[in-house]
Amino acid sequence: MKRGFLPWIKLIVLVICLSAIVLLTVKNNRRLGLDESSFMYARVDGIKINVHESDGKYYLFLPAFANEEDIEYSAETKKHEITVLKSENLPGIFVTTRSGSLDKVLFDKEYRERGQITVMDSDGNVDTCMGLD
């Protein structure tokens, strides 16, 4: 085999490997029920807030204490037009689970997963923070 073909063979193998990784990742995300909105979120004061999809439109619901200029969007969120809605004078309740999602809990009432609940007042002060079993 001529020496000039070796770099091309390496490149072809690399492209095949990368394609396989992408294909397996997409297949796994579909199996887990993940779509692009699963990767759409924002962080405000270190708190992750998921973007919600309804009829092809995306919404971010902010608690009263959040400042819109302090929002850090995920890479996937930056690709879409997001409508930001902010509550006024209402406390915020944040539930986190070990898996990072409430989907299984909401789908199957018998399913249990450890997590944490944090209740913050409208000024952003933690009122309650406790583990969930």
What string of pLDDT tens digits covers the 133 residues of the chain?
556 666 777 778 777 877 777 666 656 655 555 444 457 888 887 788 888 888 889 898 888 888 888 888 888 888 889 898 888 887 888 888 887 777 777 778 888 888 888 888 888 888 888 888 7
The pair of structure tokens assigned to 123 is 């000024």
Task: Return the pLDDT at 28.
Answer: 60
Task: Return the pLDDT at 23.
Answer: 66
Task: Return the pLDDT at 3.
Answer: 62
Task: Return the pLDDT at 52.
Answer: 84
Task: Return the pLDDT at 99.
Answer: 79
Q: Contact at 8 Å (CB) between 132 and 117? A: yes
The span from the CA of 17 to the CA of 113, in Å, is 36
* Residue 57, φ and ψ in degrees, nearest 5: -110, 150
The span from the CA of 128 to the CA of 120, in Å, is 7
